[in-house]
Structures are given as structure tokens and as C-alpha cells.
Amino acid sequence: MKIKIKAFAAVKEACGFEDKELTVSEGISVEKILLELKKCHPGLKEFDGTLLFAINEEYCDQDSVLSDEDTLAILPPVSGG
């Protein structure tokens, strides 16, 4: 299945992409995708333990599972206001 990945702010800069499409196996978890991404984007490792995730604009956790056409956002700790 196909999913979209979105990266923001410091994560975007560390990864070098803003939007990305991936073909992944059905029922893949956020955690698994993250492991895959770290292979090509080692800069992601510096965020270990601090990242937030959202599927289709709703916060989720690392165990959450993606469906076809989902958008996974990888978010550094927020600092708005």
C-alpha cells in the first residue's frame, strides 16, 4: 500500500524532505516506518524519544497502524505560541 510522510521544522531539516511517498506492507506500524526511515535519513536518530506522530492530522502513538492512503506526520516537540 501507499502512504504519505510529512516532516516538519527541525525534522524536515534533519531528514531533507518535506513530503515523501512510500510503498509499505499492509498493517505496518508507525514504529516500523520510523526504523525504515532512519536507514536513509540518519539525522532522524537525534530525535529519538522526543518525536510526536499524527496519522491523517490526528495524534497517534508509535504502535498505531497505517492504512492505504494514510498520511503520517513526523513532528518534533511543538513550540508555538
Partner 1 sequence: MIGSGMKKIILQNEPIDMAQMLHEVESDSDGAVVSFVGKVRKNSRGKNVLHLEYEAYREMARKELAKAADEAEEKWGISNCLVAHRFGRIEVGEASIIIAVSSPHRHEAFLAAQYLIDTVKKKVPIWKKEYYSDGSSWINDKE
- Interface positions with partner 1 (CB under 8 A): 6, 8-10, 13, 50, 52, 54, 57-59, 73, 75-81
| 3-class SS of residue 7 | strand
Minimum CB separation from partner 1 for residue 50, in Å?
Answer: 7
How many of the other CB atoms lie within 10 Å of CB of 42? 11
The smaller minimum CB distance to partner 1, of residues 54 and 65, is found at 54
Comparison of 50 and 67: residue with beta carbon closer to partner 1: 50
Contact 54, 18 (CB under 8 A): no
Task: Provide the minimum distance between the beta carbon of 2 and partner 1 in the complex, in angstroms, as a whole number.
Answer: 19
Cβ closest to partner 1, residue 35 vs residue 59: 59
Written as one string, the DSSP assignment of 17-46 is -SEEEEE--TT-BHHHHHHHHHHH-GGGGG
